[in-house]
């Protein structure tokens, strides 16, 4: 068997095109100018690239985007007061504080302060609670993107067995909730799971969100499974160069799965597109407009 490659780049590009249309329509119909504000504390080079990408992505679909930079020495109360200001600013519809933040600032304090209405990362306790309670709300971008990728292969997921490896707030937990919402029978695995290979091999849908290069071997994969590789790792090569790989041994998975996401070009572009989607949904909710159905 040669697995279908799930082309996250193409699926994300199609989603961005729908978002661009929706943004244009909301502007012409309601005069709504949607605004995303990204806050970066410190000068971590990787975070700077992420923020630049997010701002550029937003711009490309017609969302007004601002980035606000605070020095690495910023105090927690300064960051929280900025977040409160943005919460109160009616021209700002989505707010994202780029994590990680410097050690003197508690991530939880930011998430406890951020207005859930503007929580386009879907990480506040209220957003997480809404997802768990089956209520509408802003859903974390990466798992939201993963569900779209899974559904690009198979529309109805009822009764399928899903295994999520990883239980982070950012990916694993919301991923499991979304699969449950799709009527899958969900198992969450983590670092203390015994015989992970045996657990993984029961999965019709296998999502790996661990951060360990090529940990999931071909032999762990059920023949015909849909495999979603969230992991993003740098693998050092014998040549002294390095390359990006996922948590799944991709070439092994290709020979046994029905469909698999590549790294790069799978989950990553969807995460970025879903941030834009959340920003449009947040803006519509704040302005009491129905979100465009095509989203």
Residues catalogued as catalytic: 54, 98, 121
Report the distance separating Cα 115 and Cα 123, nearest Å.
11
Residue of 54, 118, 167, 277 interacting with ligand NAP (CB under 6 A): 167
225: exposed, middle or buried (Cβ count in 10 Å: 0-12, 13-18, 19+): buried
210 forms part of the interface with ligand NAP (CB under 6 A): yes
Residue 54: closest CA among 100, 107, 120:
120
170 forms part of the interface with ligand NAP (CB under 6 A): yes
190 forms part of the interface with ligand NAP (CB under 6 A): yes
Q: How far is the CB of 100 from ligand NAP (least distance, A)?
A: 10
Name the token pair of 245: 């790989």
Span 125-154, contacts to ligand NAP by CB under 6 A: 142
206: exposed, middle or buried (Cβ count in 10 Å: 0-12, 13-18, 19+): buried
Strand order in the sheet with 64-70: 64-70, 35-41, 94-97
E strand spans, the chain? 4-5, 35-41, 64-70, 94-97, 161-165, 185-189, 205-208, 226-229, 233-236, 242-245, 259-260
262 forms part of the interface with ligand NAP (CB under 6 A): no
Q: How far is the CB of 108 from ligand NAP (least distance, A)?
A: 14
Report the distance separating Cα 157 and Cα 180, nearest Å.
10
Q: How many residues bind ligand NAP (CB under 6 A)?
A: 25
Judged by CB, which is closer to ligand NAP: 105, or 274? Answer: 274
Judged by CB, which is closer to ligand NAP: 206, or 232? Answer: 232
Angle at 149 between CA 269 and CA 36, to 5 degrees: 40
Q: How far is the CB of 97 from ligand NAP (least distance, A)?
A: 16
211 forms part of the interface with ligand NAP (CB under 6 A): yes
User: Of the ranges 64-72, 210-218, 237-245, 285-293, which one interacts with ligand NAP (CB under 6 A)?
Assistant: 210-218
Is the dihedral angle over the CA atoms 285, 128, 276, 59 positive or is it negative? positive
268 forms part of the interface with ligand NAP (CB under 6 A): yes
Name the token pair of 60: 């490309």
Q: How far is the CB of 282 from ligand NAP (least distance, A)?
A: 19
Name the token pair of 264: 């790069």
Residue of 114, 157, 176, 230 interacting with ligand NAP (CB under 6 A): 230
Judged by CB, which is closer to ligand NAP: 71, or 100? Answer: 100
Name the token pair of 144: 């939201």
Residue 130: closest CA among 181, 164, 171, 92:
181
User: Of the ranges 53-61, 79-87, 131-139, 190-198, which one interacts with ligand NAP (CB under 6 A)?
Assistant: 190-198
233 forms part of the interface with ligand NAP (CB under 6 A): yes
166 forms part of the interface with ligand NAP (CB under 6 A): yes
Residue 94: closest CA among 60, 69, 74, 67:
67
Residue of 94, 122, 143, 231 interacting with ligand NAP (CB under 6 A): 231
User: Of the ranges 59-67, 89-97, 150-158, 191-199, which one interacts with ligand NAP (CB under 6 A)?
Assistant: 191-199
Q: How far is the CB of 166 from ligand NAP (least distance, A)?
A: 4
Which residues here bind ligand NAP, judged by CB under 6 A?
Answer: 142, 165-168, 170-172, 189-193, 196, 209-212, 230-233, 267-268, 271
């Amino acid at each position: 068997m040669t697995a279908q490659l799930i082309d996250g780049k193409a699926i994300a590009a199609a989603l961005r095109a729908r978002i661009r249309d929706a943004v244009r329509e909301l502007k012409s119909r309601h005069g709504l100018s949607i605004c995303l504000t990204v806050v970066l504390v410190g000068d971590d080079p990787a975070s700077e690239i992420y923020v630049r990408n997010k701002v550029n992505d937003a711009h490309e679909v017609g969302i007004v985007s601002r980035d606000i930079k605070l020095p690495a020495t910023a105090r927690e109360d300064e960051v929280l007061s900025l977040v409160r200001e943005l919460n109160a600013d009616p021209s700002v519809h989505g707010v994202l504080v780029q994590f990680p933040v410097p050690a003197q600032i508690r991530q939880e304090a930011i998430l406890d302060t951020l207005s859930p209405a503007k929580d386009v990362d879907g990480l506040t306790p209220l957003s997480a609670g809404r997802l768990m309670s089956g209520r509408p709300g802003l859903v974390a971008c990466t798992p939201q993107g993963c569900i779209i990728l899974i559904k690009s292969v198979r529309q109805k997921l009822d009764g399928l067995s899903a295994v999520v490896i990883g239980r982070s707030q950012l990916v694993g937990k919301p991923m499991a909730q979304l699969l449950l919402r799709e009527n899958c029978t969900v198992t969450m695995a983590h670092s203390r799971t015994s015989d992970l290979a045996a657990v993984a091999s029961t999965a019709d849908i296998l999502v790996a969100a661990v951060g360990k290069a090529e940990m999931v071997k071909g032999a762990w994969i059920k023949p015909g499974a849909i495999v979603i590789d969230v992991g993003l790792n740098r693998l050092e090569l014998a040549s002294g160069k390095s390359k990006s790989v996922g948590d799944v041994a991709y070439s092994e998975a290709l020979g046994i799965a029905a469909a698999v996401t590549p790294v790069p070009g799978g989950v990553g572009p969807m995460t970025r597109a879903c941030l834009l989607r959340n920003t449009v949904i947040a803006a519509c909710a704040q302005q009491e407009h129905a979100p465009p159905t095509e989203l």
